[in-house]
Amino acid sequence: MKLPALLLLAAASFSFAADPALTIYNGGYAVVRETLPIDLKAGVNQVSFAGVTAQVEADSVILRDIKGIAEFQILEQSYRNDPVSQAMLLSLFEGKTLEFVRLETNKPDRVIVGKVIRSGFVPGGRSFVEPIIEVDGKLQFSLPGSPLFPSLGNDNVLKPTLNWKLNSASSGKINAEVAYLSNGFTWEASYNLVATDKSDLLDVVGWVTMNNQSGMTFNDAKIKLMAGDVNRAQPEYSRGPRAMVADAMAFSDARVVTEKSFDEFHLYTLGNPATLRDKETKQVEFVRASGVKAERLYVFDGADQNREGSDSPGKVQVYREFKNSEVNKLGMALPKGKVRFYTQDGDRQLEFVGENRIDHTPKDEVIRVLTGNSFDLVGEHRMTNNTEDGANRVATQSFEIKVRNRKKEPVEIRVVEHANRGGNWTLTTQSQPHVKKDATTFEFRVPLKPDEEKTVTYTIRYTW
């Protein structure tokens, strides 16, 4: 039905939302959705919503009827974030006189009349300027008491507010949805992995940590967490404080945490509503598994030793590798985050043994995490021969790698080598078989008994 061009102005309504819902993204922002009861009158309605965050992206705000029944047109939308403060009110009375109440110990309160020469108000609050008040013809750089302000009517806000001018074809009560993007929200995953000293089995506990710096508290909110790399357009200019008028846009849109695929991302939903207060950090457990098989890998990469200098023995790195599968007691898409490793000794006391980070990892993929360097494993890497025949475009290099095990138990060290001259290459001699990992990387797997040393040798031939 076409709306008439001229409609009577209906009474303004001031609404508060209920049933908040948040979808928090890795990028430091969230989609906020709230249900807003509105009592529409036929004609033009003024609706205000004083429940928006202080970091709302005002041009992302959507107001719509959830059921899609009510027919209304958004004529105008505005956002104000200049909440009333003493300094701001003083700025409205610069050059005018005000009454100030002075409280003095053991004396009755008295009212002092002063003229506001300078309020000291700085928009945005980025700096401080002392107020200047004239009392009895003299200037002072402080307030003579608590200021008493006359009423300003309704043209002020106590907190960030959205205002709409709606043109409705008919009257009726609706539950509208307010949805918008807001900065000031973050979430991240973290994982604690616990093993016994000799075991390859881990207990895994994953947490999500949410932080709210948006300027608004959300009581009993339904919270979802979006994991993935969502592209956002970069601003063409820096954003400063703003009060804008924008046209409405169309908005598309019993474990503790459940997970599902959503578009090209993964969505994690908290099983129970949670209150997320402003300036609050909250943690929720989202994964717990026992008996996860995580093999301990020892890797000696001679290239790392060469970068550090070949005069001293090199470090053997320690990795943990496990498959994110249901068979291995996991199988949930794991969002990126920090991984901490703990080992319990014979007294069952936990000791911290390393940490690193993982990227977003789908189910059934293998995760390999560096935890540190081994104290009792040593490697040495040196070149023993290097010849080059430029005329025939041939070069050969020979290497010797020594690895030693000073542990009391047997280990296997993976000696990683690199074909870094380019062109075609082949190993013409080798002391034991190698495994080709990619176009330029190969490794030798060397089993070592306690206190045993072994030497790996090979000659590599390059042609181009």
With beta carbons less than 8 A apart as the criterion, state whether 195 and 201 touch: yes
- Note the pLDDT of residue 12: 39
With beta carbons less than 8 A apart as the criterion, state whether 334 and 227 touch: no
Confidence of residue 5 (pLDDT cuts 50, 70, 90): very low
pLDDT tens digits, 318-373: 999 999 999 999 998 898 899 999 988 777 788 898 899 999 898 999 999 998 99
What's the rounded Cα separation, in Å, for the pair 258 and 196?
Answer: 29
- Note the pLDDT of residue 329: 93
Q: Is residue 209 part of a domain?
A: no
Domain stop point among 97, 115, 148:
148
Q: Is residue 54 part of a domain?
A: no
Q: Is residue 74 part of a domain?
A: no
Tell me the pLDDT of the chain averaged across its residues.
84
Domain stop point among 127, 148, 169:
148
387: domain CATH number? 2.60.40
In terms of residue numbers, what domain contains 415?
Answer: 294-324+365-463
Q: Is residue 395 part of a domain?
A: yes
- What's 308's DSSP letter? H
Phi and psi torsions of 41, nearest 5°: -115, 150
With beta carbons less than 8 A apart as the criterion, state whether 204 and 369 touch: no
Q: Is residue 41 part of a domain?
A: no
pLDDT tens digits, 68-98: 888 899 999 988 876 667 887 888 889 999 9
Q: Is residue 408 part of a domain?
A: yes
Reading phi first (left if > 0) and then psi (alpha if -120 to 50, else beta), residue 102 is in beta
With beta carbons less than 8 A apart as the criterion, state whether 14 and 162 touch: no
Confidence of residue 181 (pLDDT cuts 50, 70, 90): very high
Domain stop point among 98, 118, 148:
148
What's the rounded Cα separation, in Å, for the pair 82 and 242?
Answer: 10
- Identify the CA nearest to 64 among candidates 196, 177, 147, 222: 177
What is the count of structural domains for the chain?
2
What's the rounded Cα separation, in Å, for the pair 457 and 413?
Answer: 15
332: CB partners within 8 A, 6+ apart: 259, 287, 324, 363
> Which three-class secondary structure state does DSSP give residue 57?
coil
- Note the pLDDT of residue 311: 52
